[in-house]
């Protein structure tokens, strides 16, 4: 028997109302869902309430009566703690409640979590996103959904309220794997663009010309199109996605390759480089500040010589 999609005005609990979770919750409200949000930050709760949602300080309060639970939390360990920790909410959820982890979690953690939720009758899909705060606000995120196809279809009205492109990626955990791999390709492209800018500037090329040529040529990528002029060349470094989060996602991608026994050299090299940048720059550094790290590396090397 087909499972009916979760439709408006069902209650959806959003656990985590941070930079991404809050605008995503607002999109759900605009789509006609009754949103219960949980976050320890009073400002986040006030913002959700002002948008028409109901806000609670704890997940246990927010999930009462919910047909679907969305977790938008720092990592998979926190997601597990919220669901299955000493004060976890999973035991109080009715069987059949759909759990949607939209955090950037490690795929192996996700498969383990799904296996532990199954005896409780709680299906899990992983549905991480790409697009940043801007696309969370306008509801055009790309969403990578892993899990049973029937559960993905059940979640589709929820996901469609937040994203423009929804990809069913395969079994549970595959969405998180795809998110990490996407960010690896994105981060590698940003490093390449920043290094090209540093070399070109040293040779006397104007930064804007470098980017314009790349964007009209085969070197074009998301970073050259979206990030280099507004965030790097301008030195604004305020894209809204942190360097620490990018480093985390890259470590997930590198660890996945290692878990699969793949001896792929660049993925580990890129992950290590971003880890070093995280340790060198301020804790709240924007991910476009990788340019500063690369420039400092070059400057330090020159002084040492």
- Active-site residues, by number, are 179
Report phi then psi at 47, rounded to 5: -65, -40
| CA 290/CA 273 separation, integer angstroms | 9
Report phi then psi at 125, rounded to 5: -120, 150
Query: Secondary structure of the chain in the HEC alphabet?
Result: CCCCCCCCCCEEEEECCCCCHHHHHHHHHHCCCEEEEECCCHHHHHHHHHCCCEEECCHHHHCCCCCEEEECCCCHHHHHHHHHCCCCCHHHCCCCCEEEECCCCCHHHHHHHHHHHHHHCCCEEECCEECHHHHHHHCCEEEEEECCHHHHHHHHHHHHHHEEEEEEEECCCHHHHHHHHHHHHHHHHHHHHHHHHHHHHHHCCCHHHHHHHHHCCCCCCHHHHHHHHHHHHCCCCCCCCEHHHHHHHHHHHHHHHHHCCCCCHHHHHHHHHHHHHHHHCCCCCEHHHHHHHHHHHHHHHHHHC
- Which residues pair with residue 54 across a beta bridge? 36
**CA quadruple 273, 278, 279, 282: dihedral sign:** positive
Nearest to 172 by CA among 114, 231, 106: 114
């Amino acid at each position: 028997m087909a499972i009916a999609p979760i439709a408006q005005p069902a209650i959806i609990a959003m656990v985590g109302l941070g930079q991404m979770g809050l605008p995503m919750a607002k999109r759900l409200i605009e789509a006609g869902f009754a949103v219960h949000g949980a976050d320890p930050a009073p400002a986040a709760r006030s913002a959700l309430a002002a948008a028409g949602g109901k806000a609670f300080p704890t997940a246990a309060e927010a999930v009462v009566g919910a047909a679907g639970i969305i977790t938008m939390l720092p990592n998979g360990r926190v997601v597990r703690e919220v669901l299955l920790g000493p004060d976890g909410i999973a035991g109080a959820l009715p069987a059949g409640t759909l759990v949607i982890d939209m955090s950037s979690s490690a795929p192996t953690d996700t498969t383990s979590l799904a296996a532990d939720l199954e005896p409780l009758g709680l299906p899990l899909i992983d549905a991480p996103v790409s697009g940043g705060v801007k696309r969370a606000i306008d509801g055009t995120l790309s969403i990578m959904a892993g899990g049973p196809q029937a559960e993905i279809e059940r979640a589709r009205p929820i996901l469609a309220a937040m994203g423009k492109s929804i990809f069913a990626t395969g079994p549970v955990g595959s969405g998180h794997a795809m998110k990490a791999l996407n960010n690896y390709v994105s981060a590698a492209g940003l490093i390449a663009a920043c290094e090209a800018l540093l070399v070109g500037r040293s040779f006397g090329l104007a930064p804007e010309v470098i980017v314009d040529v790349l964007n009209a040529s085969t070197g074009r990528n998301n970073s050259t199109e979206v990030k280099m002029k507004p965030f790097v060349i301008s030195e604004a470094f305020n894209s809204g996605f942190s360097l620490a989060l990018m480093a985390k996602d890259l470590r997930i991608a590198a660890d996945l390759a290692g878990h699969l026994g793949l001896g792929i050299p660049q993925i580990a090299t890129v992950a290590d480089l971003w880890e070093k940048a995280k340790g060198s720059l301020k804790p709240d550094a924007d991910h476009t500040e990788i340019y500063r790290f690369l420039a400092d590396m070059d400057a330090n090397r020159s002084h040492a010589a």
